[in-house]
Structure 1
Amino acid sequence: MSTSTSKAIRIQQTGGPEVMEFVDVTLGQPGPGEALVRHAACGLNFIDVYFRTGLYPQPLPAGLGMEASGVVEAVGEGVTYVKPGDRVAYAGRPNGAYAQARIMPADNLVRLPDSIDFETAAGMMLQGLTVQYLFHRTFPLKGGETILFHAAAGGVGLIASQWARAIGVNMIGTVGSDEKAELAKAHGCTHVINYNKENFVERVKEITESKGVPVVYDSIGKDTFTGSLDCLSPLGMMVSFGSASGPVPAFGLQELASRGSLFITRPSLMSYTAKRADLEQMAAHLFSMVESGKVKIDIRQRYALSDVAQAHRDLEARKTTGSTILIP
């Protein structure tokens, strides 16, 4: 295949998994500040579903997918961060990672250490960088804290479980089944709550002797939002970083005051990696955690890129655990 064409997933309209089309695209050559990357593996993330359904709007027609790994084939003028032949990975906009190859801004790419293979890289960039900023920048954990983390058996959750254990943090994780509870525990989660069998607010109060936790990391959204606020100790921080169950409903600021002057933030990875120096520092931290063996990337599902509709169905049906990758 020449460098000028690629198979890629495109959507003409928002909707269910069936709106994703596997089509031929013409790439051309990278312009100033751009690089052409031939993908070895692409990551699957819940944010891809938000873009597909239109919860997060984008101009159509459009690509999907926010992370991948591969080899740089060509660069445009002015590109200094990478060169042809470099092994690279990335996470973030612009959308379009569901492709065999693509042209993208070169300053989004980070060079991969030789010790990290392409599949691992595609399964960890978005989720691993997310855990890095959640734990070290949004609410910097020092060790010794007890925290609440929802969806502990998902891709972000399994990385968070290991990362928390590595830095001496007691993580209370919520999951939806006994199998997922075993998985989260095996990855380092200190306490696991199956929210289909137990009230997570009551269990958090029990575990913390009614003190509550200083921070809740919540990617579920609508179904867990109020309960998450109820788990916080006074002056605690609610970190709402996703909405897998639907968007958080409107609420009054008095809800924060009545529970003890709480803080709330709605972070996104793109804000934290907007400066090149921050991206490089965060990626270096993630790579060192993986290279040390403290965090292992658990790729539990692999699909052909052409089978992406099934991958989305399984993700939305809560059938997946750990990281999922697409093979182009």
Structure 2
Amino acid sequence: MLSNKASWFSTTVMRAVVVNKFGGSEVLEIKRNVPIPKPKENEVLVKVAAVGVNPVDVYIRSGNYSKLPTLPYIPGNDVCGTVVHVGGDVKNYQEGDRVCSFRTSSGAYGEYTSICSKYLIKLPEDYDFVKGAAVGTPYLTAYRALIQKANFKPGQTILIHGASGGVGMAATQLAISKGMNVIGTAGTEEGMKMVRENGVKYVFNHREEGYASSVMSATGGQGVDGIIEMLSNVNLARDLDMLAPKGMVLVVGSRGSIEINPRAMMGRETNIQGVALGSSPDEDLREASLAVEVGLKQGWLNPVIGPKYSLNDVQQAHEDIIHNTGSKGKMVLII
């Protein structure tokens, strides 16, 4: 049971965003009488400080996603905060721990959330909560794509589309830490500058005609060994023409369909792989989580924070993440 002695349990309700029906951003309603989650024995209760906003949050809210939650629900999974209650079966965490996670049991857009302990990532004691909210999904997705799915090696050349966004920046930092050569793209001068400041020599604007030729020139005409693709419905056909022999496109994001010519894959025996964090086995998620904790300790893992919103501005955040003109770091809700 939750202790009544702690000040944060002086009430049984909390403020949270609730979705009662799928639809546009207007279905995101802020409620003040939502019951505080009751964690199970293998879970912890976290007092939420900040939440990462992801495009998938919008797809689910709109009803355009393969796996939809039961209505009503609290959106979000990327969360950061302080452990305030520990279930009886939890061994490696205690009250007061600063943690983040990529998967909650009760939703992230609220003042409290329950999280299974196997999905927790422990943060350094002085780690900034806002940055912590940008760790979970972006860095685990990057690890899933670059290491677990593709097994890219030091010295290989990787093109990262949307390198100024949350997942793109995570993939950039991870690839560089593993000794890979990174080429990045972004949609604005500000985004391109951000990517360069994170150690990428060759950065191109993917909104400009001819950027694919610039990528090929940067590789001496050989093409890239891998591509991290955030918007495959726009870029996939062009991606296939930029791959080196045996190269691979990792599809991290898509907002629709696209027609490709399979012959573009045949001569060089290239490959397309889908990446979905939600489909990852628990043992892979744990491996990725441990790698992220190492990155936090070593310091190469350093999220770049973009626009910040209050919970009251959640509808605007959902509009902006889909209709933005260029990613500039991870979008975060401050609770």
Superposed pair shares fold, TM > 0.5: yes
Q: 1:98 to 1:128 in 2, by over 3 A?
A: same
Deviations 1:253-291 (A, max 9, x none): x4464342222211112334622xx44432332233233
Taking the aligned partners of 1:265 and 1:164, their CA distance within structure 2 comes to 18
Deviations 1:172-216 (A, max 9, x none): 112112222112111122211112223233222222232211111
Taking the aligned partners of 1:154 and 1:218, their CA distance within structure 2 comes to 12
Taking the aligned partners of 1:219 and 1:295, their CA distance within structure 2 comes to 20
Q: 1:100 to 1:307 in 2, by over 3 A?
A: same
Taking the aligned partners of 2:153 and 2:266, their CA distance within structure 1 comes to 27
Taking the aligned partners of 2:147 and 2:72, their CA distance within structure 1 comes to 37
Q: 1:68 aligns with which of 79, 88, 111?
A: 79
Q: Give the number of aligned pairs.
A: 323
Unaligned runs of 5+ in 1: none
Taking the aligned partners of 1:28 and 1:171, their CA distance within structure 2 comes to 43
Partner of 1:34: 43
Partner of 2:317: 311
Q: 1:239 to 1:197 in 2, by over 3 A?
A: same
Partner of 2:29: 21
Q: 1:52 aligns with which of 37, 54, 61?
A: 61
**3-state DSSP of counterpart to 2:282:** coil
Deviations 1:214-242 (A, max 9, x none): 11110112011111112112221111011
What percent of counterpart residues are identical? Answer: 31
Q: Does the CA contact (< 8 Å) of 1:239 and 1:267 recur in 2?
A: yes
Taking the aligned partners of 2:64 and 2:263, their CA distance within structure 1 comes to 25
Q: Does the CA contact (< 8 Å) of 2:51 and 2:333 recur in 1?
A: yes
Taking the aligned partners of 2:34 and 2:147, their CA distance within structure 1 comes to 39
Deviations 1:89-129 (A, max 9, x none): 11035561111102233322232221423222112221122
Partner of 1:228: 239
Q: Does the CA contact (< 8 Å) of 1:256 and 1:263 recur in 2?
A: no
Partner of 2:123: 112
Q: Does the CA contact (< 8 Å) of 2:104 and 2:115 recur in 1?
A: no
Offset at residue 251 of structure 1 (A): 5.7
Q: Does the CA contact (< 8 Å) of 1:8 and 1:22 recur in 2?
A: yes
Instruction: With the length of structure 1 as denominator, give the TM-score of the two structures.
Output: 0.89
Partner of 1:238: 249
Q: 1:282 aligns with which of 280, 288, 292?
A: 288
Q: 2:101 aligns with which of 90, 112, 137?
A: 90
**3-state DSSP of counterpart to 2:328:** coil
Taking the aligned partners of 2:139 and 2:17, their CA distance within structure 1 comes to 24
Show the 5 A alignment for 1:131-280: 131-243=142-254, 246-249=255-258, 254-255=262-263, 257-272=265-280, 274-275=282-283, 278-280=284-286
Taking the aligned partners of 2:247 and 2:191, their CA distance within structure 1 comes to 27
Taking the aligned partners of 2:106 and 2:61, their CA distance within structure 1 comes to 11
Q: Does the CA contact (< 8 Å) of 2:42 and 2:87 recur in 1?
A: yes
Question: Which one-letter code corresponds to 1:46 in the other structure?
Answer: P
Q: Does the CA contact (< 8 Å) of 1:290 and 1:297 recur in 2?
A: no
Q: Does the CA contact (< 8 Å) of 1:170 and 1:190 recur in 2?
A: no
Offset at residue 322 of structure 1 (A): 0.7
Partner of 1:326: 333
Partner of 2:18: 10
- Runs of 4+ with >4 A deviation: none
Question: Which one-letter code corresponds to 2:129 in the other structure?
Answer: F
Taking the aligned partners of 1:87 and 1:207, their CA distance within structure 2 comes to 42
Question: Which one-letter code corresponds to 2:329 in the other structure?
Answer: G
**3-state DSSP of counterpart to 1:62:** coil
Q: Does the CA contact (< 8 Å) of 1:92 and 1:269 recur in 2?
A: no
Instruction: With the length of structure 2 as denominator, give the TM-score of the two structures.
Output: 0.87
Question: Which one-letter code corresponds to 2:45 in the other structure?
Answer: L
Offset at residue 61 of structure 1 (A): 2.1
Q: 1:230 to 1:88 in 2, by over 3 A?
A: same
Of residues 154-163 and 64-73 in structure 1, the stretch that sits farther from structure 2 once superposed is 154-163
Q: Does the CA contact (< 8 Å) of 1:37 and 1:71 recur in 2?
A: yes
Partner of 2:5: none
Q: Does the CA contact (< 8 Å) of 1:65 and 1:95 recur in 2?
A: no
Q: Does the CA contact (< 8 Å) of 2:37 and 2:112 recur in 1?
A: no
Q: 1:124 aligns with which of 114, 125, 135?
A: 135
